[in-house]
Structure 1
Amino acid sequence: MRLAVGAAAVVALALTGCSSTAADKPSQELTYWSMWKSDEPQQKVLAGAIADFEKERGVKVDVQWQGRNNLQKLVPALNTDNVPDLVDGPYVKMYPALVATEQALGLTEAYAAQVDGKTAAEQIPGKLLKTIDIKYANGQPWMLPYQIQSDAIWFNAAKHPELKTNPPKTWDEFIALLDRLKAQGQTPLAADGDIAGYNAAFFSTLLVRNSGPGALMKLASDKTGAAWDDPAVLDAAKKVEQLVKGGYLIKGYNASKWPAQQQKWANGEAALMFMGSWLPTESATYAAAGFEYGSFPFPTTGSADSMRADFSGFAVPKKAKNAKLAQEFAAFFLRKQYQDKWGVDAKVIPVRSDAATAPEMASVKTALDKVSTYHQQNDGVAFPGYNEKTFWAKDDELFLGKISAQDFVRQMKEAQIAYWKTQK
């Protein structure tokens, strides 16, 4: 993944601003379509880094703060000349938008660039790269990550200090906790049922808990659909059904509009919420006074206890006009000063293991550091259209109480067979 020594040195000098003065450099402009919106904490950190990069390199960065639909907007643009030099997003969105069709550039130069005395490649935790495959078959990396996403069961530690010291570890212990909360007159679990990816996280995680990392990928990859007959699959679906039929979910979750139920959770109207590591950032502005973010890992159903770990990061479209400059900025943002701000100010998990993190992230970061095995969101399943049109669509019916676990498994088997027949 590394350049020849001479080429790497050129990139390193460019990044540190030592090769020449800004006045000596030709005027260049980098176009960046960002996944962040104006005034988000992440946007503010990135905007500061962009200003520093412009000053240090003597270039212009034309950034569009497009929000989470930036990659949806990119897909049709790839067939035009209006293609940005740099985009960012999570693996699960990046793969179908750019990588499945091999329209992302290999980022050899970015990985070889010097960042705080090491190559950018050396700043990415190797143990996560074993699980999260961000390389083409030829070994070229297509993403330079700057953030790690995980998930957890979140709670207000000021209201439930017992969960900090003695959280449920198994599914039976988790259900017992939900029953206790119900008996105390509390709503156990909040969920915004209109977000299909959030809904699907329950079944996905339960299957990975039952059968280990890679189980959902194996299931979804089976073109015959026979893998859906595995008893572990039905067991995972039945556990989702148990949550629905047990009355543990907040009233109205199945007809809500995000972030209504998330707001209710943050205001104490539900005790728990299964959500990604971005929840403290998203809910901080409307959390109840004195709210203390605590979390524990999703409970086990057997011996599998992996933690979810995903990357969000930068990619460069092959049609980018300023691909070299785009790779320079991608590596530039891995500097510790920006990774520290990413952890402390944006309150998310930086990709660099030596970066600072906010107190809100302490429990998730500790859990990530403790485990030795990891799984991705949807277990890495990102086949074009599969999640949105096949898996998530059927899972919504299960999670919203419209079909039974048995019906879900049967219908998914049929839908998956049909999906693979349409794929070339």
Structure 2
Amino acid sequence: MAKIRKLAALAIAGALALSVAGCASAQGAPSGGASSGKGGTLTYWSMWKEGEAQQKVLASAIADFTKETGITVDVQWQGRDSVKKVVPTLNTNKVPDLIDSSFAKLAPVLAGTGQAKALTDAYGATVDGKKAGSLIPKAYLANDVITRKGESAPWMLPYSLTSDAIWFNAATHPELTAKAPSDWNGFVAELDKLKAANEVPIAIDGDVSGYNAYWYTAAIVHLAGPGSLKKISDDKTGKAWDKPEALKAAQMVQQLAAGGYFISGYNASKWPAQQQAWADNKAALIFNGTWIPTETQPYAAKGFQYSSFPFPTVGSNGKKVARADFIGFAVPAKAKNSANAQKFASFFLKKKYQDALGTDAKILPVRSDAATSSEMSTVKAALDSTHSFYVQNDGITSPGYAEKLLWPALDQLVLGKTTAEQFVANMKAGQIDYWKQNS
């Protein structure tokens, strides 16, 4: 669950974590720059933990990279708090050369504060006979979400994607495999059919704010297009919340909460209770990320067959868009071995490792020609047929906006504690206060 945290909070948490984790030992080593030939070193702090499938693929790539280039990689498997741990090092001589995480975690810490290098060398490197930058589908980069204004090269090099989908068990619901609802009205009609058959339509862990927010974000970008929610959030007057699509998206969420489509007890249970219930066939659908098959497999019902369909379009002129969040590499501005770091970042885009991410780690590789697992096949097909994409929170990176303002308001909406009109009014007033305090 990717979350953008307020920078000050990150620094405090990172300082505490760093005292336990220790600092990289190779920071003072000579740089292995682009003109230095073979040899050198780099320090890499990874978001993965030892033993995870993603870590094993990266470890294999590191071994191959060192053998091929002579560059030693001092890797520390930090886990999901890797970005927190980096924050207190950014203005020191102990900053790692390379880090990886989700866009949502890296953007406010590195890009938003000018602490990331533009990865010109990484994008220009040759990988499998092609420029590394050309291996990332252009549609994913169309909105320049990973390029700072005035720069020609992005600050982040993605190596995998996360997306979302409405998941179901194809073994118990073959009718959804044959014909899934494509628009909102058809989706609601399908929910009514499930209720009529005494099935619970949707499982949702209501205590996970990020999951609650998926519904509204997906609704508004399908109504108004990618970047629409971010544009609203940037309006310091709050008047952007008067746009009709802001209310319409909230009404769609209210329709689900008021219609009794969510699983009983979703507003009082603790994660992962409801996704476990879904995997045990106690609910038909769940709107969640591409990690759901891996997370729920240990307790899924016997014979469970993972399948999915995209969030439905809205109205006769509904927009077909999909969420495609990046996980990838970034190089801190003060990295001493940035050239070597960029070399490894591009090296990991080789099809050998992209295929392994798809089949062994069962995640979505960023390369469109990479292999994927059967569990990801429906999501991959949806992404391949879509040419307009958005990222988590529609690209909002203003520190604390999502956690302190947007998500709490959406929690109240999803939990049925406020109406769509109240949600919009609360966001408008809250946003005015937010920008007064953060301008």
Could you say which residue in structure 2 is the equivalent of 1:279?
292
Q: 1:304 aligns with which of 319, 325, 350?
A: 319
Please state how far the C-alpha of 1:98 moved relative to its aligned partner.
0.8
Q: Distance in 1 between matches of 2:45 and 2:372?
A: 26
Report matched runs for 1:212-223 at 5 Å.
212-223=225-236
1:401–1:161 CA distance, 2 compared to 1 (3 A): same
1:53–1:257 CA distance, 2 compared to 1 (3 A): farther
Q: Distance in 1 between matches of 2:438 and 2:336?
A: 32
Report matched runs for 1:375-394 at 5 Å.
375-394=390-409
Report matched runs for 1:137-176 at 5 Å.
137=149, 138-176=151-189
Q: Distance in 1 between matches of 2:66 and 2:270?
A: 40
Please state how far the C-alpha of 1:356 moved relative to its aligned partner.
0.7
Please state how far the C-alpha of 1:143 moved relative to its aligned partner.
0.4
Could you say which residue in structure 2 is the equivalent of 1:408?
423
Q: Distance in 1 between matches of 2:76 and 2:408?
A: 31
Please state how far the C-alpha of 1:147 moved relative to its aligned partner.
0.9
- Conserved? CA contact 1:281–1:348, under 8 Å: no
Could you say which residue in structure 2 is the equivalent of 1:349?
364
Please state how far the C-alpha of 1:132 moved relative to its aligned partner.
4.8
Residue 434 (structure 2) pairs with residue 422 (structure 1):
no
Could you say which residue in structure 2 is the equivalent of 1:266?
279
Could you say which residue in structure 2 is the equivalent of 1:95?
107
Please state how far the C-alpha of 1:256 moved relative to its aligned partner.
2.8
SS in 1 for 2:267: helix
Residue 303 (structure 2) pairs with residue 290 (structure 1):
yes
Q: Distance in 2 between matches of 1:230 and 1:107?
A: 37
Q: Distance in 2 between matches of 1:40 and 1:253?
A: 30
State which drifts further: 240-249 or 331-340. 240-249
- Conserved? CA contact 1:241–1:404, under 8 Å: yes
Report matched runs for 1:47-62 at 5 Å.
47-62=59-74
Please state how far the C-alpha of 1:314 moved relative to its aligned partner.
0.2
Could you say which residue in structure 1 is the equivalent of 2:7?
none
1:344–1:422 CA distance, 2 compared to 1 (3 A): same
State which drifts further: 72-81 or 337-346. 72-81
- Conserved? CA contact 2:123–2:153, under 8 Å: no
Residue 128 (structure 2) pairs with residue 128 (structure 1):
no
The amino acid that maps onto 1:83 is V
Q: Write out per-residue CA displacement over residues 164-223 of structure 1, whole angstroms, 9 at most, x where no aligned residue.
A: 111111112111111221222221111122221111110111111222222212211111
Could you say which residue in structure 1 is the equivalent of 2:246?
233
The amino acid that maps onto 1:54 is T
Q: Write out per-residue CA displacement over residues 140-167 of structure 1, whole angstroms, 9 at most, x where no aligned residue.
A: 3100110122211011111111101111
Q: Distance in 1 between matches of 2:144 and 2:69?
A: 32
The amino acid that maps onto 1:45 is V
Q: Percent identity?
A: 56
Q: Distance in 2 between matches of 1:262 and 1:70?
A: 26
Number of aligned residue pairs: give it.
404
Q: Write out per-residue CA displacement over residues 380-416 of structure 1, whole angstroms, 9 at most, x where no aligned residue.
A: 1222211111111211121122222222111111111
SS in 1 for 2:167: strand
Please state how far the C-alpha of 1:238 moved relative to its aligned partner.
1.6
The amino acid that maps onto 2:426 is Q
Q: Distance in 2 between matches of 1:38 and 1:397?
A: 38
The amino acid that maps onto 1:125 is P
Q: TM-score, normalised by structure 1?
A: 0.91
- Conserved? CA contact 1:241–1:398, under 8 Å: yes
Q: Distance in 2 between matches of 1:54 and 1:261?
A: 44
Could you say which residue in structure 1 is the equivalent of 2:4?
none
Task: Return 5+ residue gaps in structure 2 as ranges.
Answer: 1-32
1:279–1:80 CA distance, 2 compared to 1 (3 A): same
1:85–1:258 CA distance, 2 compared to 1 (3 A): farther
Residue 411 (structure 2) pairs with residue 399 (structure 1):
no
- Conserved? CA contact 1:132–1:310, under 8 Å: no
1:259–1:67 CA distance, 2 compared to 1 (3 A): farther
SS in 2 for 1:253: coil
Please state how far the C-alpha of 1:364 moved relative to its aligned partner.
0.9
- Conserved? CA contact 2:254–2:420, under 8 Å: yes
SS in 2 for 1:379: helix
Q: Distance in 1 between matches of 2:112 and 2:220?
A: 25
State which drifts further: 178-187 or 341-350. 178-187
The amino acid that maps onto 2:82 is N
Could you say which residue in structure 2 is the equivalent of 1:318?
333
Q: TM-score, normalised by structure 2?
A: 0.88
SS in 1 for 2:74: strand
- Conserved? CA contact 1:72–1:97, under 8 Å: no
Q: Distance in 2 between matches of 1:236 and 1:419?
A: 22
1:70–1:170 CA distance, 2 compared to 1 (3 A): same
State which drifts further: 265-274 or 374-383. 374-383
Task: Return 5+ residue gaps in structure 1 as ranges.
Answer: 1-9
Q: Distance in 2 between matches of 1:112 and 1:192?
A: 43
